Amino acid sequence: MYPRHEARRTGRLRVSDIHEIFWEESGNPDGVPVIALHGGPGGGSNPEMRRFFDPARYRIFLCDQRGCGRSTPHSELRENTTWDLVDDIEALREHVGVNQWVVFGGSWGSTLSLAYAVTHPDRVLGLVLRGIFLVSKSEISWFYQSGASRLFPDSYDRYIAPIPEAERGDLLNAFHKRLIGSDKNARIEAARAWARWEGETLSIKGPVTTPPRFNEDDFVDAFARIECHYFINRGFFAHDSWLLEEAERTLQSIPGVIVHGRYDVVTPLSTAWALSKAWPKAELHIIPDAGHSSMEPGIVDRLIAATDMFAEQFLPTVKA
């Protein structure tokens, strides 16, 4: 990864009567603009995301999506949908004076990147996506109901522990009831279990590599509540295949790179495979010894190769 570097400027952008989002800019002010979209939803950005881009060649933007990270109000579900977030990205683009940018995102960040790109294709230079997720019923059932339990039975038992056995036939609704409920103890217990399930399954190495923030109550509250809110509403898409169909219709002239771990348990490879067939202009790279985490060595290498390639491709255009 590129060396750590600090943000050159930060700001807050009022995007609704309720919400204000945090954003930052780093790198070269004359470089290729790129916005890096974090996962979750509800995960928040972190400084390590800057390191996927050459700071000498990129003008790097990060933001915290509604309700998480340094955006306010924390863990707020009102006025918090995919289309609100798409509007926020466009509002930020206009606010910072960028005409077009590369869009980079992994996991939920790949979902939001695609939703933005199919809505505003004229604003997208290219897409770099990792861990493709389309918020379909089958994807949610695989990870949040029972499919992934076959590979991580130890973590799965910890995940379902707060839910009485009688409610385990529909875990998404069981968690949602607790995460939006008024019982604060039940809410945080459910949030910890929900978030740690994902944290323990991110890497091919399993629970030993769980990021520390997946054990922090403030983080897991927003992460679990916002994720569950989005997933119970199926990403606020018209139907399961809507995003795939729109990608096939609108992305044919936009270059892209898709990076996916062969052993990704959180978002199985079949979704990336389907996207690559719908979007022939995108290069699909299957990493043979990786799971879901952006920090798996093979995934890091391929993502940086992709951003380097786009820097070479788009920097002359930006300078012109």
Q: Of the residues 264, 276, 285, 293, which is catalytic?
A: 264
107 annotated active-site = yes
Catalytic annotation present for 136:
no
Question: To 10 degrees, what angle do helices 108-119 and 82-96 make?
Answer: 70
C-alpha 213/C-alpha 238 separation (Å) is 33
Give all strands of the β-sheet with 256-261 in edge-to-edge order: 9-14, 20-27, 58-63, 32-37, 101-106, 124-130, 256-261, 282-287
Q: What is the spatial distance between Cα 85 and Cα 119, in angstroms, rounded to a whole number?
A: 12
CA distance 152 to 154: 6
Query: What DSSP state is assigned to residue 68?
Result: S
Side chain identity at residue 144, one-letter code: Y
Told to judge if 19 belongs to the known catalytic residues of this protein, a careful annotator would answer no
Rounded alpha-carbon distances, angstroms, from residue 68 to 138, 181, 203, 238? 26, 19, 23, 25
**Catalytically annotated residue among 107, 110, 136, 155:** 107
Active-site residue numbers? 107, 264, 292
